[in-house]
A and B are shown apart, each in its own frame.
Chain A
Amino acid sequence: DVKVTQSSRYLVKRTGEKVFLECVQDMDHENMFWYRQDPGLGLRLIYFSYDVKMKEKGDIPEGYSVSREKKERFSLILESASTNQTSMYLCASIRAGPAYEQYFGPGTRLTVT
């Protein structure tokens, strides 16, 4: 079974803190994604990566950065957390190609106070 794990299920941070969200997948997938999910807005893509050390901006990259030093690990970084970054963060991975399913992690509910 494909497993996508995220470092925390729940996280509470203070405004201005630097926050790291880690995601690890164990199926050698090339592509990895970070989404945030907010009520009424659905899933919005923050960043994605098609290969090690490669990253591309999604629809809402402002306030975030990412790192992919190893194929299995994709990290989302909030350089200076703000209250409007309180959200559910979902990581996903997928094999390269046109017709594969995405596998999601369980999500990290981040609260910034």
Chain B
Amino acid sequence: SQQGEEDPQALSIQEGENATMNCSYKTSINNLQWYRQNSGRGLVHLILIRSNEREKHSGRLRVTLDTSKKSSSLLITASRAADTASYFCATDGTGANSKLTFGKGITLSVRP
């Protein structure tokens, strides 16, 4: 079963613009993570936000978490062509040793 659902499914923007991607989930979580996948490769962790945090920054990335709405957003500022990739949100449950559940991903295309 997939808990995280990303929105939109695909996004195409011009280099320099900001990209906003959203994720919604259904049950209580310990934390939410965002991953990136370049075509044909494994996933790479971008950022983790805990359930008691509301916002987190890492370089050009800004993640927000609203546990009351069970949603998160990933903002990439000043996008670059190299940001072209698929982005996934992943959530874990509140039990011990909970496994991550990934969404289907968002395909981001940044046009030079």
Contacts and interface: CB of A to CB of B under 8 A. Distances in A.
A101 B105 contact: no
A33 B44 CA distance: 15
Interface of B: 1-2, 30-31, 33, 35, 40-45, 48, 50, 88, 90, 92, 96-105
Contact of A50 (B1, B88, B97): B97
A101 B33 contact: yes
Contact of A40 (B100, B101, B104): B104
A42 B30 contact: no
Interface string A1-35: 00010000000000000000000000000010101
A98 B92 contact: yes
Given A41-B104, A42-B103, A103 B45 contact: yes
Given A59-B1, A101-B33, A106 B96 contact: no
